[in-house]
Structure 1
Amino acid sequence: MNQPLRLWGGRFGAEPDPSLTRLSRSEPSYFRLAPYDLAGSRAHIRELGRAGLLDDGEIATILRAIDEVAQQHAAGLIEPWPEDEDVHTFLERVLTQKLGPLGGKIRAGRSRNDQAANDLKLFLRHRARTLMTELMALQDALVAQAQAHKATPVPGVTHLQAAQPITFGHHLLAHAQAFSRDAGRLMDWDARNAVSPLGAAALAGSAIALNPELSAEELGYDASFENSVDAVGARDHVAEFLFVAAMLAVHLSRLAEEIVIWCTQPYRWISLHDSFATGSSIMPQKKNPDIAELTRGRSARLIGGVTTMLAALKSLPLSYNRDLAEDKRAAFEAVDGLALVLPAMAGMVATMTVETETMRKAASQGFTLATEVADFLARKGVPFSTAHDITGALVRLCEERDCELHEIDDADLAAVDPRLTPDIREHLTLEAALDARMARGGTSPARVAEQIERLSRDLARQRAWALEYRGPTP
């Protein structure tokens, strides 16, 4: 008859109290680490062979059993028992049932401490690639919309007030730049943390697994740990991943907020595709940007995850403590949240319709071309402080006349200041204002096109990084 397995307890004279068992047992979601635990076990079995604890036949037998368990688990044919304390206990129990006494050799030279650190690190390194792929889809959508609207005027705003005309493509690429930095943070995180903890055992290193660098290479790491205490006791790689995820979520939230605003009746700059919007249960006319709102809300939870991890680490002595189990809860929520949000946001952006005429009309309202007047005067040698005052006086006159800058007549221009000559009118168009911003990074359509080209090259680097991963990918 199959019996539950416990990886500890030989020195205890009483069974664990049920309250201890309930508290100690891993959350059900933690068992998703099974494929990564099995990958670590394959590497460890080969290390036991190098140490002389297993012969070639035993290695082959155990590896076949691990492959069978992996296939059965992926197919849903085996699941943890309520008595399985964690994923390590679950898998060792299943392997021991298959292998008999041979299964009892698997645990030699390792600890749940280095297994736990290794499992989550493998999970995060793998999922960093899948998140990158989803993040690239959002960047692709922003770049495609920017390409279509690299010359579409829209009012640029500061303090939510109309400021100067820019192109809608330029504004969308501002979001794409933030997401590109997020992608860079993922790659930087991985480069810094591609270090295997396997072989650190409980904390002192293993007296049996003496070649951790070979296990590290097999699992796709760049190196093995430098310090065994640090290998099992550190979780700054988790905290850093959570920060990267939270920063990405904040950038998603900022884009989401603007999409919500652009959909409102006062703006009506965009309309969402029906497949990426929802309605009201009572108001038949409603079309709501729920994806953007849900994204905005989800960012709060990811910000909380960083705080949770940092607080768990704050006063924690080295090396391993069970407090560190909080790493998985926060990491899974971050990964799962982004996996839901990113494809929805990418689809919403890719399919939204841009109301170009509405944008163009808004682009020159609110005296957004006032800076062109001040720049015109400055190019004539007028000190900018004086040019600023003259332009302010012209705006005040236009407000009194209830007209835009380009509608004022020549006599009124001269009355404000003689240096406001009629040739200023060639500067008081949206196209002139946009074309004038022709320095690198500016909103000139030509510069926007160059920005798209540079972002496309960066996206190619992101794709290459996502594809070059050598670790386990269940």
Structure 2
Amino acid sequence: MIPMAGKALWSGRFKDGMDDSTLEFTSSLDVDSKMAFYDIMGSLAHVRMLKACKIIPAEDADSIVGGLKKLAHQLEEGGLDMDYSLEDVHTNMEVKLTEMIGPAGGKLHTGRSRNDQVATDFKMYLRDAVLNAVEAVNGLIRSLQDVANGNRDVILPGYTHMQHAQPVTLAHHMMAHAFRFGRDADRFLDAFERMNKCPLGSAALAGTTYPIDRKMTSDLLGFRDPTENSMDSVGSRDFVTEIAFDASMVAISLSSLCEELILWNSQEFKYIEMDDRYSTGSSIMPQKKNPDIAELTRGKTGGVIGSLVAMLMTTKGLPLSYNRDLQEDKKPVMDSLKTVTDCARMMAKVVSTIKINESRMLEATNSGFINATDLADYLVTKGVPFREAHGIVGETVRYCIENKISLDNLTLDQFRKFSPLVDSDVFSAIAVKNCVERRDSYGGTSPASTDVEITLSMQDSMRREEDVRMKDQLIQSCWDKLLNE
């Protein structure tokens, strides 16, 4: 029997129907309707298993499969409207199926619960969303690699504490961001592996008395294995929290990149100019060209981190196993993944189109005594202990500040006032270009070292692209089999 509007499928325990306010308060349809496709796929796998295990009659199973395929087709065509008198997407799908094929539809829920059903649906949704996020982040990494490739010899100040520290190449700077984003992308892939176990068949919390084959449903849905403990399967959301954390790390990396690009784009720095297509003007000041894409990305970081906090607080005090609080797990991480995916794609465009002001970057390296460490290293080669050399250079810098002169413009006699060991080769030692080229240690800023960094990063990107391709191909092949066999 089809339930009346406002009543759940399992309303037999209750004398009165659900109050409209209760339905409105408990409904998750606005959020979980995004999982409709995955709910159908999970049901197709489940009913095929029920048939194979002879738990329901073959003709009923075949009727259910046919109805689910029609629902999938309607969904693909955009014609599957949700009934808001039913509280979630799972109930909607079962009611629509039963309306379509009759009482046999009621046998679909044999051997499962909404608890394991929703956990399975959400994992399937997150698998695709995570792969999309990795693809977007990897695209941004590719843009950073391209900038690095084209600017191997461009020199600018490297900063610590936002103070000039040592000269670096733009390629080295861009690769620092690339490797950071690479770890972010790999965290997503690690999380994918951990969550890629199938909860379906755990039922409400204790498993089921039906002779089900959980390995079969796991394989049909492209999971690595079934989950090992039914209570943990339906009651734990650490996979959601982990992905929310991973998204937060991407957001923080994005914010850091954006902060630098915004500074570099300012009149005070003038290191870069952002493309017109990714900038906006002012409503009152016609001269303005604002880096709004970078600013908005930086601003969206707060919401992503807030979603992580929401997940941590939602789950921190829950007893095992399933609690209705867990209905609130979806929106935060869905929003987070969409935000970082969209932002990464936009920032890839911003990065790939920036104009580099090479002369301004090099000019900036001539202020702030950025070659002071190299002068200390020079003294070390003359036999001076580094700590003593550090003090000598500090006195030299103080002299330069007082006399408004740079290290490069000191005469040999002036250098020798601070150390008699200084010789004419000091000028080559502190030349900015040479300072950069000598830093050829593994991971250093020299062009030779940076070439290695770019190569390694590109290999990592290729590995991720192949990993995403293989995972997506496996998932898509599962959907094809479920829909076409």
Give the structure-1-normalised TM-score.
0.97
Match of 1:162 in 2: 164
CA deviation digits over 1:390-441, x for unaligned, max 9? 1112112222232211111122112222112221011121211011110100
CA deviation digits over 1:104-125, x for unaligned, max 9? 1111111110011011111111
Match of 1:150 in 2: 152
Match of 2:16 in 1: 14
Cα distance in 2 for partners of 1:446, 1:223 equals 45
Tell whether the 8 Å contact from 1:48 to 1:208 is kept in structure 2 after alignment.
no
The CA deviation at 1:310 is 1.1
The CA deviation at 1:3 is 5.1
The CA deviation at 1:27 is 4.5
Q: Please point out which of 91, 103, 106 is paired with 2:105.
A: 103
Match of 1:338 in 2: 340
Q: What SS is found at the alignment partner of 1:278?
A: coil
What is the RMSD of the two structures over their aligned residues, measured on CA atoms? 1.5
Tell whether the 8 Å contact from 2:29 to 2:89 is kept in structure 1 after alignment.
no
Q: Please point out which of 317, 335, 358 is paired with 1:356.
A: 358
Determine whether 1:183 maps to 2:195: no
Match of 1:75 in 2: 77
Q: Please point out which of 436, 439, 457 is paired with 1:437.
A: 439
- Residues 176-255 of structure 1 correspond to what in structure 2 (within 5 A)? 176-208=178-210, 210-255=212-257
Cα distance in 1 for partners of 2:455, 2:342 equals 29
Cα distance in 2 for partners of 1:425, 1:339 equals 49
CA deviation digits over 1:170-214, x for unaligned, max 9? 011111111110111111111122110000011111222521111
- Residues 306-325 of structure 1 correspond to what in structure 2 (within 5 A)? 306-325=308-327
Q: What SS is found at the alignment partner of 1:166?
A: strand
Match of 1:64 in 2: 66
Runs of 4+ in 1 over 4 A off after TM superposition: none
Tell whether the 8 Å contact from 1:260 to 1:292 is kept in structure 2 after alignment.
yes
The count of aligned residue pairs is 474
Cα distance in 2 for partners of 1:339, 1:244 equals 12
Match of 2:290 in 1: 288
CA deviation digits over 1:48-79, x for unaligned, max 9? 10232334443333222212111211222121
Tell whether the 8 Å contact from 1:233 to 1:320 is kept in structure 2 after alignment.
yes
Q: What SS is found at the alignment partner of 1:323?
A: helix
CA deviation digits over 1:347-390, x for unaligned, max 9? 00011111111101112311001111100001111011211111
Q: 2:466 is matched by which residue type in structure 1?
A: A
CA deviation digits over 1:110-163, x for unaligned, max 9? 111001101111111111111111111100000000111121101001110001
Cα distance in 2 for partners of 1:345, 1:67 equals 39
Consecutive unaligned residues of structure 2, counting only runs of 5 or more, are 480-485
Cα distance in 1 for partners of 2:257, 2:170 equals 13
Q: Please point out which of 300, 303, 307 is paired with 2:302.
A: 300
The CA deviation at 1:30 is 1.8
The CA deviation at 1:336 is 1.6
Determine whether 1:36 maps to 2:35: no
Q: Please point out which of 114, 120, 123 is paired with 1:121.
A: 123
Cα distance in 2 for partners of 1:294, 1:209 equals 53
The CA deviation at 1:265 is 0.7
Tell whether the 8 Å contact from 1:199 to 1:209 is kept in structure 2 after alignment.
no
CA deviation digits over 1:273-296, x for unaligned, max 9? 111111111111111111111111
Match of 1:85 in 2: 87
Q: What SS is found at the alignment partner of 1:300?
A: helix
Cα distance in 2 for partners of 1:155, 1:132 equals 31
Q: 2:449 is matched by which residue type in structure 1?
A: R
Q: 1:267 is matched by which residue type in structure 2?
A: F
Q: What SS is found at the alignment partner of 1:260?
A: helix
Tell whether the 8 Å contact from 2:55 to 2:211 is kept in structure 1 after alignment.
no
Tell whether the 8 Å contact from 2:63 to 2:104 is kept in structure 1 after alignment.
no
CA deviation digits over 1:218-258, x for unaligned, max 9? 11111001110110001001001110111111111111111
Match of 2:482 in 1: none
Determine whether 1:471 maps to 2:475: yes
Consecutive unaligned residues of structure 1, counting only runs of 5 or more, are none
Identity of aligned residues (%): 38
The CA deviation at 1:2 is 9.4
Tell whether the 8 Å contact from 1:110 to 1:206 is kept in structure 2 after alignment.
yes
Give the structure-2-normalised TM-score.
0.95
Match of 1:261 in 2: 263
Q: Please point out which of 392, 395, 405 is paired with 1:393.
A: 395
Tell whether the 8 Å contact from 1:122 to 1:471 is kept in structure 2 after alignment.
no
Cα distance in 2 for partners of 1:8, 1:2 equals 9
Q: What SS is found at the alignment partner of 2:369?
A: coil
Q: What SS is found at the alignment partner of 1:288?
A: coil
Q: 2:374 is matched by which residue type in structure 1?
A: E
Mean Cα deviation higher: 458-467 or 420-429: 420-429
Mean Cα deviation higher: 18-27 or 461-470: 18-27
